[in-house]
Structure 1
Amino acid sequence: MLTLIPLPAFTDNYIWVLHDGRHAIAVDPGDPAPLIAFLDANRLALTALLITHHHRDHTGGNTLLHQRYGCAIYAPENPSIPAVSHPLHGGDSVALAQPEVRFEVLATPGHTLDHLSYAGHGFLFCGDTVFGCGCGKLFEGSAAMMAASLDAILALPDATRVCCAHEYTLSNIDFAKTLDGGNPALLERERQDRARRSRNQPTLPSTLALEKATNPFLRFHDPDMTAFAARYLNRPHPDPAEVFGAIRAAKDAWDG
């Protein structure tokens, strides 16, 4: 049986750990210290890292962890990512014996051009592509590129557990309410997630079904989001990528 653990790191990152009681993999360990402490406390052997993109808060632990554990490091093929043993592209797969896991690799550019996500065993490790009720900023890619990446994620089963790399959910809910404040699913999510954070519990993982119901960035095909984008852009009938782009622009302006 596989156990999923979100390890807090820095101020709002999560390092995701998936283990079978003896062997573990970790996703995006920007800070190696909390991961090492967890592995040592639970007597787990780290066999592999999965890296979603090149930002330092996702890759900063690579070298030390490889030196300490000899773990394989799966990552986008990008020379700026340290200690990579297995460079990957969208359409590849990752199969390990310990723990026994297999993940399909999705190309999800937008936040960065090299961004990958990993889907398998009912989990999606999506880095900074999707957040709880939000999505990553477009530092390198275009709105059309990110919309295509989100379409690939939307094709996964609704029960998929969405494992994001940051605890941004409450702030994202505050923004979502400016577009969709009458959405009962969103208001119920806010109630539950505020209660979780008041107990210092993570709001993640969520499910793809919940994101489809509450996350405006995954609802860019919906008529109400299309109507918002038409008003925001001051022109009728925007296409889905333009709808996504309008939502992203409105969030960027809201963030200040």
Structure 2
Amino acid sequence: GPRQRDARIEHFVSRGAMDIEGLGERTIAQFTALDPPLLRDVADVYYLDYDRIGALEGFGETSVTNLRGSIERSKARPLANLLVGLGIRHSGGAASVALARHFGHLDSLVAATEEELAAVEGIGPTIAASVHAWLANDQNSGLLDKLRAAGVNFVGPAAPDAPQTLVGMSIVVTGTLGGLSREAAEEAIKAHGGKAPGSVSKKTTAVVVGAEPGQAKVTKAEELGVPILDEAAFLKLLETGAVL
């Protein structure tokens, strides 16, 4: 429905995705409600009729120029951010970074089999099935064609702009976390400004312990009195920078 469509566009322009300023919830709702709509899908962001926008209530020349500039700049966002923006089910930031890193170009990702997707570190069968089905859908292929024609970047691999919550912290990961491989968890730590060394020391801020952890790391953390976090506490840490 209309609300779902608006939510998809809101997600596409959000900070972790294409990072477009000036397209907030109210503006998107205004654009999609017009007859004919200025926005029908996420790719329409790159085909806006700026003359029509300039004639709308509340849009002066400056706001139109700023919006246009922000949209133009967003075309250069890395592949990982574009993948986040597409809002593929089960495929969040860490998965998008892993896929962008591994394939390097959207066309290689589109050409990959479900098995090839599942074999990527940090992806697995659930995400692979979801990504493969999304890319195989004709409507979505049409969307990608529109994005390509608009000049949107299809090349990776940089990570999404994550809040720099872990600056100055050193977080050691051991074992596999439910949604993330150890490598993906370490990428997430670095993306948030932290360090992710392989071993525990006095300088370690916290140790994140998943399934089948390295027992030596856990023992060392206990000896040094370093806080031990489970996955829920780790996700909270990424978000807030607080060791709970």
TM-score (norm 2): 0.26
Higher strand share: 1
Taking CA–CA contacts closer than 8 Å with sequence separation of 6 or more, which of the two structures ends up with the larger relative contact order? 2
TM-score (norm 1): 0.26
Higher helix share: 2
Q: Between Structure 1 and Structure 2, whose CA radius of gyration is higher?
A: 2
